[in-house]
A and B are shown apart, each in its own frame.
Chain A
Amino acid sequence: EIVMTQSPTTLSVSPGERATVSCRASQSARGDVAWYQQKPGQAPRLLIYGTITRATGIPPRFSGSGFGTEFTLTISNLQSEDFAVYYCQQYNNWPLTFGGGTKVEIK
């Protein structure tokens, strides 16, 4: 099983600034990593798949990078609607696994 370790657990950022969330895989996930956003009381939403590709309707301020075991989600120019919990996930092989989540909160 590939263990996905996210950091930090909580990130305090001011609106308009940049947020960077990291995810480390215990073994190579190649480029098969996705990122999700979840707001309170809502189902998660796919943001990024294939490490770098934005899902339909996701604004360009969301970007992903990495390969193998190190991955990053960057949110530029944070908007009020971006304050949420973010999860990374690998789908390179079964079982699929998620990171523990990062809460991006208003500073």
Chain B
Amino acid sequence: EGQLVESGGGLVQPGRSLRLSCAASGFTFEDYAMHWVRQAPGKGLEWVAGIFWNSNSIGYADFVRGRFTISRDNAKNSLYLQMNSLRAEDTALYYCVKDRGQQTAGLYYWGQGTVVTVSS
């Protein structure tokens, strides 16, 4: 399964930016699609964005399209989420998730998450 360690969360003012990172280890990172999924306090799971193994296909939830950008660096075994124009409703625990396959086949392994709080 490997290990996924998220970082970059914190307290940020509305309208500002934040960049999340996810360091992967223990598996061949370039062989898998990756995703960001979030969970607001006391709420359900929301898929945020996903990226195929070779970055050839990227998808976003409607509520972040145009504000967030997902990317990956296979040479550094790392996944990123650039979050711009943050809103209070973006406050959540953000999980980095490894897919079962190179494209989308089920969210197989989840990190422990990093907390993002958007507040003035």
Q: Tell me, rounded to whole Å, the shortest Cβ–Cβ distance linking A25 to chain B.
A: 15
Binary contact readout A42-54 vs B (1 if CB under 8 angstroms, 0 otherwise): 0111100110000
Say whether B87 faces chain A, with CB atoms less than 8 Å apart: no
Say whether A91 faces chain B, with CB atoms less than 8 Å apart: yes
Partner of A98, one of B46, B57, B62, B104: B46
Given known pairs A1-B62, A43-B95, A43-B113, the reply for A97 and B47 (CB within 8 Å) is yes
Chain A residues whose C-beta falls within 8 Å of the C-beta of B110 in the assembled complex:
43-45
Please, how many angstroms separate the alpha-carbon atoms of A49 and B107 in the complex? 9
Chain A residues whose C-beta falls within 8 Å of the C-beta of B106 in the assembled complex:
34, 46, 49-50, 55, 91
Say whether B85 faces chain A, with CB atoms less than 8 Å apart: no
Determine if A96 and B112 form an interchain contact, defined as CB atoms under 8 angstroms apart: no
Partner of B108, one of A1, A32, A46: A46
Number of chain A residues whose Cβ lies closer than 8 Å to a Cβ of chain B: 23
Chain A residues whose C-beta falls within 8 Å of the C-beta of B44 in the assembled complex:
87, 98-101
Determine if B100 and A49 form an interchain contact, defined as CB atoms under 8 angstroms apart: yes
Determine if B60 and A95 form an interchain contact, defined as CB atoms under 8 angstroms apart: yes
Partner of A34, one of B57, B107, B109, B113: B107
Please, how many angstroms separate the alpha-carbon atoms of A2 and B106 in the complex? 16
Known: A44-B107, A46-B106, A49-B106. 7 other contacts (CB 8 A): A1-B62, A36-B45, A46-B100, A89-B47, A95-B47, A95-B60, A95-B62
Listed in ascending order, the chain B residues whose CB lies under 8 Å from chain A are 35, 44-47, 50, 57, 59-62, 95, 100, 104-113
Q: What would 21 A/B residue contacts be, using CB atoms closer than 8 Å? A: A1-B62, A34-B106, A36-B45, A36-B107, A38-B45, A43-B95, A43-B110, A43-B112, A44-B110, A46-B100, A49-B100, A89-B45, A91-B104, A91-B106, A91-B107, A94-B104, A95-B47, A96-B35, A96-B104, A100-B44, A101-B44
